[in-house]
Structure 1
Amino acid sequence: MNPDIERLKLIFIGLFVAGAIGVGAWQIGWEGPRRACEGQGKWWDYSQRVCAQPVLISDITGRTIQDKQAEAEAQAAIGRQPAPTAK
């Protein structure tokens, strides 16, 4: 058989194997953790590969949300249970 064809065959097989390993590394290193993070209702940062918990601005500033319905909706959006109301 022609040695050029044999060499090209090995090059293409090598490229295929390298691509398959790259796709596998992407799935294991980035896609799997992203899906697990977003499944928990958190935020995934691709650049640093960090799963972060969303925080309400009122938690940072100390200012409370005056409208109780809006506060309940904001807490539900980040996955928190609303605070129990005193009777």
Structure 2
Amino acid sequence: MNPTINRMTLVFLGVFVVAVIGVGVWTVGWAIPAKRCESNHKWWDHAQRVCATPVLISDITGRTIQDKQAEAAARAAVGRPVSKQP
């Protein structure tokens, strides 16, 4: 067979192997942790690969949400249970 064809076969095979390894690393390193993080109602940062817990503004400021429906919706959005206060 022509040596150029053999060389091109090896080049394409090498590129394919590198691409498959790259997709595997991306899946294990970014896609699976992102899916797990977002299923737990947290924020995933792709750049730093960090799973962060969302914080309500009322937790930072100490001010409470006066409307109970709005508070329940905000807590549900960040994945927290609604507190049952009398």
Q: RCO higher in 1 or 2 (8 Å CA, sep ≥ 6)?
A: 2
Paired residue total:
86
* Two-structure CA RMSD over aligned residues (Å): 0.9
- Amino acid paired to 2:24: G
Structure 2 portions without partners, runs of 5+? none
- Per-residue CA deviations over 1:20-44 (Å, capped at 9, x if unaligned) read 0000000000001001111111111
Structure 1 portions without partners, runs of 5+? none
Question: Whole-Å Cα distance in 2 between the matches of residues 33 and 81 of structure 1?
Answer: 23
Question: Whole-Å Cα distance in 2 between the matches of residues 60 and 12 of structure 1?
Answer: 55
Runs of 4+ in 1 over 6 A off after TM superposition: none
Shift in Å, 1:81: 1.2
Instruction: With the length of structure 2 as denominator, give the TM-score of the two structures.
Output: 0.94
